[in-house]
Amino acid sequence: MTVAAVVLAAGAATRYGGPKQAEFLPAVLDAIARAEIAQVVVVAGAYPLQVDAARASVVHCDRWADGPGASLRCGLEALGDEVEQAVVVLADGPELDPRAVERLVEHRHDGPVVAAAYAGERSHPVVLSRSVWHDVPDEGGRAMPALLVDCSDLEAPGDVDFRR
């Protein structure tokens, strides 16, 4: 296996008012499963997360409060040596389309950082090649320059910050 997924679910969800990860994570994991990614790591932090071990492994990031980069680095470190690229998604993106994951995986060799774009706006998923894992800044993958792959024909995954 050369491609795995890292699901970022470590934040405190203060704007949401509670652990939104528990609410939205099942839909995100369903989308990743439909994209046929074999290894999935969920990064927990502020809240404990219960995930069926057949669906994903959970890694707790003690430094989650340092920002998304710390959480992402925890997830990447949990991946096996055989993994060459990681698909990064947010646990609070419940509209994640598995076709976007598949499209990004198809373009994984086009650059070290490849990100989905919807109507010209960078979003998720993002694919990071192992060669840049050590370069992840504290701001997270969004701060890394990326080749954009148009996914405008698909639903954007969303990024839920407030209760509906």
Distance CA 48, CA 43 (A): 10
CB 158 within 8 A of CB 100: no
Question: In 10 A of CB 136, how many CB atoms?
Answer: 22
For the chain, the structural domain boundaries read 3-150
* Confidence grade of residue 16 (pLDDT, cut at 50, 70, 90): low
- At 104-163, the pLDDT tens digits run 999 999 999 999 999 999 999 999 999 999 999 999 989 999 999 999 999 999 766 544
CB 32 within 8 A of CB 54: no
CATH 3.40.50.300 fits 3-150, yes or no: no
Strand partners, 118: 121
Per-residue pLDDT, averaged over 13-22, amounts to: 70
Q: Check whether 12 has a pLDDT greater than 80.
A: no
Distance CA 150, CA 73 (A): 26
Tokens of 154: 């698909």
Cα separation values, 73 from 56, 58, 103, 107, 121, Å: 17, 14, 24, 22, 24
- What's the predicted TM-score (pTM) here? 0.93
Distance CA 112, CA 76 (A): 14
* Percentage of the chain lying above the pLDDT 70 cut: 91
Distance CA 56, CA 159 (A): 21
Q: Amino acid letter at 93?
A: G
Q: Check whether 1 has a pLDDT greater than 60.
A: no
Q: How far is CA 158 from the centre of its chain?
A: 12
Q: 102: phi > 0 → left, psi -120 to 50 → alpha, else beta; which? A: alpha
